[in-house]
Amino acid sequence: MDDRSGKQLGHPFTVNGMVVVSAKHKVSAAYRPSVGAYGLTPAAGKAFAGLKRAIEKAGLRLYVVSSYRSHAAQQALYASKLASMGRAYTQKYVAVPGTSEHQTGLAVDLRSPGGRGTSFDNSREWRWLRAHAQNYGFVLRYPDGLTKVTGIGFEPWHWRYVGVEQAKAIRALGANMTIEQYLRLA
């Protein structure tokens, strides 16, 4: 149970060593992880570099669209999407500031020459990720059909670093297993 409040929100809710940031598990603007390569934490950046080398070796290409995003940047993005896309779209696909995994430095949004955004799941790169991402510590964070569990609509572009051991354990339970289900938070 997440009973953090006040200054405690300067650190993310963590279960079994896994950071969880969502509408139910918020962080304050004070939370700022150390980020480096690819705009990810050092461990996530190193893992993503390995994933990127492997996918390129397979003759495919990935591009980072977004990774670390500060609380203020998330606030600006949310306001911009609300103005340009409307409330229904924004509530489905854009996390309220303080509830975005991008603030952790553990999430990365991707695209490929064959797909971007909602068409990313039609690309060869996405199929490769679905088969191999767990070997590099990444999981698809918002699978199709599980909005009631995650609070976010299907985002084929959003991948979350959880570490190889946890990613393989999550994937072993099914291709659409969520972090909330895995940690029994849902």
Closest CA to 111 of 98, 125, 97: 125
Task: For residue 125, indicate whether it is catalytic.
Answer: no
Opening angle at CA 107, ends 105 and 108, nearest 5: 110
CB 140 within 8 A of CB 133: yes
Q: Which of 56, 155, 165, 180 is catalytic?
A: 155
Q: What is the CA radius of gyration of the chain?
A: 16
- Active-site residue list: 155
